[in-house]
Amino acid sequence: MISSKEQLHQDVERAQSAVSEALKLAKKRGATAAECALNYSRGLSVSTRMADIETVEFNQDGGLGITVYRGQQKGSASTADLSPQAVAATVEKACEIARWTEADPYAGLAAAELMAKDYADPELFYPADQSPEFASEQALTCERAMLNADERIVNSDGASYASHCGFRMYGNSHGFLGHYLSSRNSLSCMPIAKQGDRMERDYAYTLARKQSDLVAPELVAKEAVEATVARLGARRLATTNAPVIFHRDIAHGLIGHLVAAISSGNLYRKTSFLLDQLGQQVLPDSFNIFEDPMIKGGLASTPFDHEGIATQPRQIIRNGVLETYLLTSYAARRLKMEPTGHAGGIHNWLVEHGTDDFAALCKRMGTGLVVTELMGQGVNMVTGDYSRGAAGFWVEGGEIQFPVTEVTIAGNLKDMLRSIVAVGNDVDHRHGVQTGSILLAQMKIAGE
């Protein structure tokens, strides 16, 4: 089974008909404005454990959501059934809900002039082999290689392969109706290693829109095994203050706190540690972040956001200065600003990096902690206070000495962001935030 544009074309036409009909019915039932979103995905996933196939799942998911406005009164409803009767009933429910909601002076569609017009194809869809035979072969090859790589690998939490394709569609009563196709493929595995009476686990994965861009199963297995056996013999540390490197696998999460702090809800609710910081220095003056929504094949590329607003390249951080907030039209009206096309999230943040690879970053740190795993949710977005369980590796003389477990790293996100010393060139392209490992000048490390 090979996914193709031709296979999706019929589904797209059916979806366009359903969205158009929903918008027409909303107008007939007295809505002053309406918007409709539809997501569709189909594909399969296969999981294995101990080199046996555990599950084979075929997925076909889709749902239409409609929001209607009666002036500033708003009602929403959704359905997974796109039959004319179901669509009509869903519109009726949304209109009924709107009759009973309190008017919100900030509610409504994004401005018509901001809609994406004549947008280019972001080229997010690539045909893929979605047969269970191919998927099973990928997962089994990966897990077998993992189990045979090292005698310390004594068990497995399995391997999994998934391939899905589909589209997102959005239309509103401004006359905008747009869609784009997309595909996504992934392969992962999680070995369990044992040494003495201690056991450790880790994982590795590959993710790409184009199937041929996935890392080979044997290499995914090799990375997972190396990461897992490296954790054997982990020790605790004495409580100390030291430099910290957020490894590339988790560094995007640190920048993710910045995303949350400058996004709509936290700003108008005044629950952000970066409140009123627009135009202010929030990172070191050497730090830059650029957003590019139209990277061809990008994992976070999109020609328009969830309100139909055209996305555009923009500088987020320039020389450490915050140049923009990330605003939906609702938040923009509340803040008396302009929307930025970020309804639904960010679009390919490119964190500028230096020339140091990971080894050079460790040399630069000298002595400190490399964090490869974080646990818990100890982040206060109002104050920026940060405290999370961590595991990783202790570095002395610029070289990794031993694995570390059961420690807590703590600080304040405002200070942490300002104390970034360098970003490595080991960029991880598997996330909406693309960054290398990040070295911070100092954090509190709580251990024994």
Q: 238-249: per-residue pLDDT in tens?
A: 999 999 999 999
* pLDDT-wise least confident of 4-8, 292-296, 391-395: 4-8
At 360, list the tokens. Answer: 């050079």
For the chain, counts of helices (H) and of strands (E) = 9, 18
| Residue 154 CA neighbour count, 13 Å, CB half | 10
Q: How many CA atoms, within 13 angstroms, populate the side-chain half-sphere of residue 123?
A: 5
pLDDT of 100 > 90? The answer is: yes
Report how far residue 402's alpha carbon sits from residue 400's, in angstroms, rounded to the nearest whole number.
6
Residue 212: burial class (beta carbons within 10 Å; 0-12, 13-18, 19+): exposed
DSSP 8-state symbol, 51: T
- Alpha-carbon distance of 155 to 49, in angstroms, equals 9
pLDDT score recorded for residue 202: 94
> pLDDT tens-digit profile of 195-207?
988 999 999 999 9
Q: How confident is the model at residue 6 (pLDDT cuts 50, 70, 90)?
A: confident
Q: What whole-number distance in Å separates Cα of residue 241 and Cα of residue 243?
A: 7
- Interval 219-241: pLDDT, tens: 999 999 999 999 999 999 999 99
Q: What percent of the chain has pLDDT over 70?
A: 100
Provide the pLDDT for residue 405: 94
- For tokens 């996914």, the residue is 3
Residue pair 388/399 in contact (Cβ under 8 Å)? The answer is no
**Percent of the chain with pLDDT strictly greater than 90:** 94
Mean pLDDT of the region 324-346 = 97
Which of these, 185, 191, 218, 216, lies nearest to 203 by C-alpha position? Answer: 191
Q: How far is CA 420 from CA 286, 320, 437, in A?
A: 9, 10, 11
| Dist. CA 85–CA 30, nearest whole Å | 19
The H or E element spanning position 138 is: helix 132-147
- Domains in the chain, start-ordered, CATH in brackets? 5-229 (3.30.2290.10), 234-448 (no CATH)
- Compute the distance between CA of residue 259 and CA of residue 266 in angstroms, rounded to an integer: 10
Rounded mean pLDDT, 93-119: 95
- Residue 226 CA to residue 230 CA, distance in Å, equals 6
Q: What value does the mean pLDDT of the chain take?
A: 95
325 near 334, Cβ under 8 Å? no
What pLDDT is stored for residue 257 in this prediction?
A: 97
Tell me what pLDDT residue 448 has: 81
Give phi and psi for 428, each to the nearest 5. Answer: -95, 115
At position 18, the amino acid (one-letter code) is A
Q: Which residue has the higher pLDDT, 118 or 304?
A: 304
The DSSP output letter for 232 is T
311: closest CA among 319, 302, 320? 302
Alpha-carbon span 1 to 130, nearest angstrom: 5
**Distance between CA atoms of residues 132 and 44, nearest Å:** 8
Digit-coded pLDDT (tens) for 384-434: 999 999 999 999 999 999 999 999 999 999 999 999 999 999 999 999 999
As a whole number of angstroms, the distance between CA 415 and CA 440 comes to 10
Q: Sorting pLDDT into bands at 50, 70 and 90, what band is 9?
A: confident
- What gap in Å lies between CA 181 and CA 169, rounded to an integer? 9
How many CB atoms neighbour CB 154 within 10 A? Answer: 13
Strands, DSSP E only, in 173-239?
177-195, 198-201, 204-208
Kindly indicate the confidence band of residue 2, based on its pLDDT and cuts at 50, 70 and 90: confident
Average pLDDT value for residue range 139-166: 96
**Single-letter amino acid code for the residue at 187:** L
pLDDT in tens, 24-74: 999 999 999 999 999 999 999 999 999 999 999 999 998 999 999 999 999
pLDDT at residue 1 tops 90:
no
Q: Helices in 160-241 by DSSP H: which ranges?
A: 217-229
Return the DSSP state at 80.
Answer: S
